[in-house]
Amino acid sequence: MGKRKAMFMPMVCVSSFMLVGYAALDTTAPEIVTESLDLELNEEVTPEMIQAVDNKDDRSAITITVDQSADYDATREGTYYITVTATDSFNNVSEEKVIPVTYSDKKAPVISVKDGVDTDANVIKLRYNSDANIREYIQAIDNNINSGNQGDLTEYIVQENELDTSTLGSQIVNVSVKDDAGNETKKAIPVYIIDDVAPDLQLADDGEARINYGSQFDLSEFAKAIDEYEGDLTDQIEIVEQQLPDTNTLGATGYVNLKVADSSGNVTEKTLNLTVADTEAPTITFSRNNFSVKMGDTVNVADYVSVSDNLDQDIGSKVTYSANTVDTSSEGKQTITVSATDEAGNTTTETFTVTVYDPATYAGNTVVSAAATKVGCAYVYGGSGPNVFDCSGLTQWAYRQAGISIPRTATAQYYGASQHLYSYSELQPGDLLFFNTQGTSYSHVGIYVGNGMMVHAGSESTGVNRTSIYGSYWTSRFTGAGRYY
């Protein structure tokens, strides 16, 4: 048997041959299989969204290149186009493929509480009487920045029920909002109305008050409390501590510590400081005022004025008059101002009024004359003339003859008078006299005609007659007189 010859081939050459042969085999480019994309607004295209297949590589080894068109805008609804290519690990590049990308708005707006709004566990906390517009406290933001105010839809929030900020406690406000695409969000907003404002404790003279000489301390004169929610809480003010001054000593000082709380527990505390001083103005009293005098009469105002003061003994020298005497040279109402000032500078001002009339033209004369012509006429309840009268019907008729309109009933005639008189000594002809004859102060009225006499419609038995006002029946029942001018 013959010998065989062995053939050897270097391994390195074999290996090289195999590699070259294998590389030459992968010349196929990847294929892009994605036909289109449907995206939400503002969602950017990423290579991972594009699917491609390759004869050798899986998707993770394929590189996708995306080229967006010039008009591509992810913030606006519409269809845009991208050009993509795929490259495998052997650098085989696919043909370019144009893929349509459609953007649509399918996402509803988001309703949330605005920054800076006070909340507790997502509950909006509002102060009593705050703005009842819920849009002041919440916002609606949409993903479409081209709708509303750059995506802010707050102004389009619909408040479906009222927010009552005048009532403390919990409430639910239902709201809704839609974007341009019709996506709607509904939300129940929990709200809690609170009273976190303490009462306003108001002190006289900002807490540095003067208490009148000789007076008793009365807190209501120096302090009051007003609460925003509960109103007047003055009667709820507590005296925590006090050291009152001796009010019979000018300049003495003291203090009162005060506290007031509302039903929500808000508390205000203040100190009222007190200093004893003369704060009371003098008192001016007129022995007679608002009366009538004839032209030419002399009226010294000081004769009718008296002045007293709580502290000063001699106050008369500090009384001033705008005029010392009344000018009675002509008809009309004369008013004089009287002022008095004590040592502490407290001033009182009063007015002294006198009506000057001309006896020759005084309307009372006409009234008297008219009434006298009806003496003897019958008394009839409700009668107003011209030949039958009751008491106030006669007086009204007589005044009408003088061109003066007065009310119909005796009581109304008293209260409607220009001037009231309280004694017979002040009477002038034409004045009305009032008497209590039926259990009321002004149940009967007559006309003073001078010389202590009156004309009146007394009763069915007397008719209209003239009688003396000084009889015991009339003097015991006289309640006042009235003068019209």
Task: Say whether pLDDT at 362 is over 80.
Answer: no
pLDDT score of 129: 94
pLDDT score of 336: 96
Task: Say whether pLDDT at 23 is over 60.
Answer: no
* Mean pLDDT computed over every residue of the chain: 92
453: domain range? 363-483
In tens, the pLDDT along 149-197 reads 778 999 999 999 999 999 999 999 999 999 988 999 999 999 999 999 9
Query: What number of other Cβ atoms are within 10 A of residue 120's Cβ?
Result: 10
Q: Band of the pLDDT at 20, cuts 50, 70, 90?
A: very low
Residues 115 and 100 in one domain: no
Domain C-terminal end among 357, 383, 403: 357
Nearest Cα to Cα of residue 166 among 199, 130, 190:
130
In a domain, 138, yes or no: yes
Q: How far is CA 447 from the centre of its chain?
A: 54
**How many domains in the chain?**
5
Task: Say whether pLDDT at 363 is over 90.
Answer: no
In a domain, 413, yes or no: yes
Residues 99 and 190 in one domain: no
Q: Residue 473: give its domain's CATH number.
A: 3.90.1720.10
Task: Say whether pLDDT at 16 is over 70.
Answer: no
Task: Say whether pLDDT at 316 is over 90.
Answer: no
Nearest Cα to Cα of residue 86 among 69, 109, 61:
61
Domain C-terminal end among 235, 256, 276: 276
Q: Minimum mean pLDDT among 184-198, 245-259, 419-433: which range?
A: 419-433
Helix, strand or coil, per DSSP, at residue 59? helix
pLDDT score of 7: 33
Residue 377 a catalytic site member:
no
In a domain, 9, yes or no: no
pLDDT score of 14: 37
Share of the chain above pLDDT 90, in %: 82
In a domain, 25, yes or no: no
pLDDT score of 40: 93
Domain C-terminal end among 338, 357, 376: 357
Residue 444 a catalytic site member:
yes
Residues 346 and 399 in one domain: no
Q: Minimum mean pLDDT among 144-158, 168-182, 325-339, 401-415: which range?
A: 144-158
Q: From the candidates 13, 377, 391, 420, give the one annotated as an active-site residue.
A: 391
In a domain, 23, yes or no: no
CA-to-CA distance for 361 and 117, rounded, in angstroms?
A: 80
pLDDT score of 15: 37
Residues 41 and 119 in one domain: no
Q: Minimum mean pLDDT among 42-51, 136-145, 196-205, 307-316: which range?
A: 307-316
Residues 169 and 235 in one domain: no
pLDDT score of 11: 37
Share of the chain above pLDDT 70, in %: 94
Residue 456 a catalytic site member:
yes
Residue 214 falls in which region: left (phi positive, over 0), alpha (psi -120 to 50) or beta: left
Residues 229 and 321 in one domain: no
Residues 400 and 376 in one domain: yes
pLDDT score of 149: 74
Residues 367 and 461 in one domain: yes
Q: Band of the pLDDT at 24, cuts 50, 70, 90?
A: low
Q: Band of the pLDDT at 121, cuts 50, 70, 90?
A: very high
Phi, psi of 284 (to 5 degrees): -105, 125
pLDDT score of 145: 84
pLDDT score of 314: 78
Q: Band of the pLDDT at 148, cuts 50, 70, 90?
A: low
Q: What DSSP assignment string belongs to 93-106?
A: BPPPEEEEEEEE--
Rounded mean pLDDT, 280-298: 90
Which strand ranges, in their side-by-side order, compose the sheet holding 253-261?
208-212, 267-277, 253-261, 238-243
CA-to-CA distance for 233 and 306, rounded, in angstroms?
A: 42
Q: Residue 309: give its domain's CATH number.
A: 2.60.40.10
Residues 424 and 378 in one domain: yes
Residues 353 and 450 in one domain: no
